[in-house]
């Protein structure tokens, strides 16, 4: 299954980042999880990494 996924989507590289340290992707994941837990709607971004960074104001990497 991993090989099939890699062929379809490309290789995934996992990076460990400290929680609540200002990393945009980590902070965004926390916002999404908290919003869902509180029963609120969530807006998801679709597009390039650059568009995502502009939308949420920060750098993913």
pLDDT in tens, 26-55: 888 899 999 999 999 998 878 888 888 888
- pLDDT for position 41: 92
Give the domain range for residue 38.
2-56
| pTM of structure | 0.59
What residues have CB less than 8 Å from 23, skipping those under 6 apart? Answer: 17
- pLDDT for position 1: 65
Q: Does 10 fall in a domain?
A: yes
Task: Please check whether residue 59 is in contact with residue 27, taking contact to mean a CB–CB distance below 8 angstroms.
Answer: no
Provide the domain count of the chain. 1
Q: Which long-range contacts (CB under 8 A, 24 or more apart) does 33-39 make?
A: none
Please report where in the chains the tokens 């099939």 appear, as a residue: 4
Q: Does 61 fall in a domain?
A: no
d(CA 60, CA 38): 25
- pLDDT for position 43: 83
Q: Does 19 fall in a domain?
A: yes
Average the pLDDT over 14-36 and give the result: 86
């Amino acid at each position: 299954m991993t090989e099939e996924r890699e062929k379809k989507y490309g290789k995934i590289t996992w990076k460990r980042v400290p929680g609540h340290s200002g990393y945009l992707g980590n902070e965004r994941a926390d916002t999404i999880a908290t919003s869902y837990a509180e029963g609120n709607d969530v807006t998801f971004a679709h597009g390039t990494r650059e568009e995502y960074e502009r939308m949420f104001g920060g750098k993913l990497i």
